[in-house]
Structure 1
Amino acid sequence: MPGAQRFRHSAPDWRRNRRATTSGGSMRTSDKGIAFLERHEGVVLKAYRDPVGIWTIGAGLTAASGVVTPRSQMKITKAEAGRLLGLALGRNYEPAVARTMPGANQHEFDGAVSFHFNTGAIAKASWVRAWAERNWSEVERRIKLWKKGGGRVLPGLVRRRQEEFNLIRLGDYGAGVAGQSPTSERARFVVSVTPAEIQAMRVGFAKLGYKVGEDPGGIRKAAVMQFQRDHDLTIDGLIGRATLSTLQRMLDARAKAGQDGAVGGTAAAGTAGAEAFNIAALPDWLIWAGLGLAVVWVGYRAWQYRDAVAAKIQTAAPATARFLRRF
């Protein structure tokens, strides 16, 4: 694709090379710990926006990682995604876990790295004190408190915290990606999901106008591929982090557009019903100021969800859609 940024990494096994560079006895995430982390984060080789609009690539890496600055149309290889994850862990996450949990066993360290990678809160998490005391019932209770995102409980975080506890306590790295087996007509999940989450995805895709099919245990591959095509994602029919993040972002855009309309409608109805209020009596400058604020607000919403706007207009105005996706 024109303008796409590609990185190549010649090492056949980045994990082996990463272990070879370990020095000074510093503890590092094991291969199984890396696989556990990648299973929860997903590994996406083309940059995408997370639900709040931040460019992301690889195993959930943003510019804040300090190892890559994702941007529109950026692509990386699987090997490069692994190398970047290794750099991010070594610089930003493993040292903090090693300092906070001295003497941890490898599986305890791996579970704590997953937690810290997701929350950035290893230094203040109260479950760590319970771990030091080997109070496992408190470790389980307290780690499960970290289950909210955007102010609401997220099923994916509930499951992740349970699996992290199982890893820390029992050394259980899990059995891989859960979910229904794919068929030729059904999209395959490449991140762990539950039946309830599959149902929520079906509802979400349907709200956006995609025909998910009659099978309650999955989603039509053709619908997923059309969604990916409409939103400039990799068109592979696989439901992973990029597709799910984009789905959530498009649903948020739809909901906020509805809220803005409802607020406007309520205001209009209130104005029409208030007999004592006469808009003609208002000074011209105040009327124009109000209209100006309304235009600014609509413009702000449109820019905030410019990727959603791009998806709507790409057939009629492909050049404008490409321009909006650059930012």
Structure 2
Amino acid sequence: MASGHPSGNTIARGRPMQTSEQGRAFLEGHEGVALRAYRCPAGKWTIGAGLTAASGVVVPKAGMVITRTEANRLLALALMRNYEPAVGAAMPGAKQHEFDAGVSFHFNTGAIGRATWVKRWRVKAPVSEIRAALGEWRKGGGKVLPGLVLRRAEEFEMLAYGRYAGIDRVATVPVRADGLARFAVPVSEAEIAEIRKGFASLGFDPGTNAHGVLATTAREFQRRYGLTVDGIIGRATLSALQRALDARVKVQAGVVGAGGSAGGVTAARELPEAAPAGLADALSAAPWIEPIILGLGAIWLAWLAWTYRDALAARLDRRFPRIAAKLRSI
């Protein structure tokens, strides 16, 4: 493949090939780097460039703070242990920029051993075929994600031509001149619109500028959710936002299921004609069913409160700061 870089091998001076400094910067530009531990959307404590306890190099905990130097060290260690060996095996004879592209892809997908684009790269297929195959890895949750479309495009540029795009995304710029928070990870206009909508639905004013979110709003959100208060919207802030929105949807569903005003057992007493025959009679004949269902609903809501205790802490922050701080610490 075309490149202005010198040839490289997976073995250099007796050592397995490692991700270059530029390669790590590229990866951090897409993953974001959080120096304070946060919960990912799945609820796992995370720190640095998306490292959880599963990385085997760090066990993030509530309140944990690391330096930028430590974040770099942990990422390099995680790559060496968990990703670089697999990429080296899947891409023998790779030049440095090709290896770096493979590492970024594998870090994001874990699929270096089965991806079609890697097989085509090994047989020196036309670059158009490799680009198309790499571009197929653009979905999350069954949907095409703009962030993944961009990442695959930039990984191809690195793979084919040695161009490292966007490696300055982790540069610290506290506030933009227009008063909007800076995004530390790549986002599209459509994603910004969704982020603004999310902040607004939680009671945080995103401002009138459709191109972003007010830095002051980002700081207030970060303060209430126990994040680093810097007015920069990165992976930690977006994860907290997603968890808060998920918690809201599930709690509302739980209230409905437990017999809230939107439905549940109470509404079941007024079943439509299309309801299964005998269901209304069964509920009337067995009044003990209602407290059982309500009890299960209460247990469900309690489980949700525990699972999303970080979101609950943010809600309690103003009136019960000590309780909020305790919830964030566990």
Q: TM-score range by the shorter chain?
A: 0.7 to 0.9
Structure 1 residue 130 corresponds to structure 2 residue 159: no
Per the alignment, residue 281 of structure 1 pairs with 285
- On the 8 A contact 2:25/2:168 being kept in 1, the answer is no
Structure 1 residue 58 corresponds to structure 2 residue 56: no
Taking only aligned residues, the RMSD between alpha carbons, in angstroms, comes to 2.1
2:307 maps to which of 266, 287, 304? 304
Gaps of 5+ in 1: 1-21
Supply the AA of the counterpart residue of 1:197. Answer: E
Structure 1 residue 227 corresponds to structure 2 residue 221: yes
SS at match of 1:46: strand
| Most deviating of 132-141 and 241-250 | 132-141
2:160 maps to which of 142, 156, 169? 169
Determine the C-alpha separation between the residues in 2 that align with 1:232 and 1:189.
19
1:316 shift after superposition = 1.9
| Most deviating of 133-142 and 163-172 | 133-142
1:111 shift after superposition = 0.5
Determine the C-alpha separation between the residues in 2 that align with 1:138 and 1:258.
47
2:183 maps to which of 182, 189, 206? 189
Per the alignment, residue 324 of structure 2 pairs with 321
1:41 maps to which of 13, 20, 31? 31
Per the alignment, residue 247 of structure 1 pairs with 241
| Most deviating of 217-226 and 261-270 | 261-270
Map 1:16-165; keep pairs closer than 5 Å. 24-135=14-125, 136-165=127-156
Supply the AA of the counterpart residue of 1:115. Answer: F
- On the 8 A contact 2:104/2:155 being kept in 1, the answer is yes
Distance 1:274 1:203, change over 3 A: closer
Determine the C-alpha separation between the residues in 1 that align with 2:290 and 2:193.
47
1:195 shift after superposition = 2.3
Relative to the length of structure 2, the TM-score reads: 0.86
Relative to the length of structure 1, the TM-score reads: 0.87
Determine the C-alpha separation between the residues in 2 that align with 1:246 and 1:324.
14
Determine the C-alpha separation between the residues in 1 that align with 2:263 and 2:290.
18
| Most deviating of 51-60 and 187-196 | 187-196
Structure 1 residue 272 corresponds to structure 2 residue 266: no
1:227 shift after superposition = 0.5
| Most deviating of 231-240 and 164-173 | 164-173
1:94 shift after superposition = 0.6
Determine the C-alpha separation between the residues in 2 that align with 1:23 and 1:296.
60
SS at match of 2:43: coil
1:283 shift after superposition = 5.3
Per the alignment, residue 17 of structure 1 pairs with none
| Most deviating of 72-81 and 215-224 | 215-224
1:209 maps to which of 203, 208, 211? 203
Q: What CA deviation, in whole Å up to 9, does each residue of 1:155-190 have, x standing for no partner?
A: 211211111112111211014457x99215221122
Distance 1:23 1:318, change over 3 A: farther
1:133 shift after superposition = 1.7
SS at match of 1:273: coil
1:154 shift after superposition = 2.1
Per the alignment, residue 293 of structure 1 pairs with 296
1:262 shift after superposition = 4.5
Determine the C-alpha separation between the residues in 2 that align with 1:245 and 1:222.
18
- On the 8 A contact 1:32/1:173 being kept in 2, the answer is yes
Supply the AA of the counterpart residue of 2:138. Answer: K
SS at match of 1:76: coil
Gaps of 5+ in 2: 1-11
| Most deviating of 193-202 and 304-313 | 193-202
| Most deviating of 64-73 and 162-171 | 162-171
SS at match of 1:206: helix
Determine the C-alpha separation between the residues in 2 that align with 1:93 and 1:274.
57
- On the 8 A contact 2:179/2:215 being kept in 1, the answer is yes
Aligned length: 304
Per the alignment, residue 4 of structure 1 pairs with none
Determine the C-alpha separation between the residues in 2 that align with 1:167 and 1:261.
49
- On the 8 A contact 1:177/1:190 being kept in 2, the answer is no
1:238 maps to which of 232, 241, 262? 232
Q: What CA deviation, in whole Å up to 9, does each residue of 1:58-85 have, x standing for no partner?
A: 0111101000000100000000000011
Supply the AA of the counterpart residue of 1:290. Answer: I
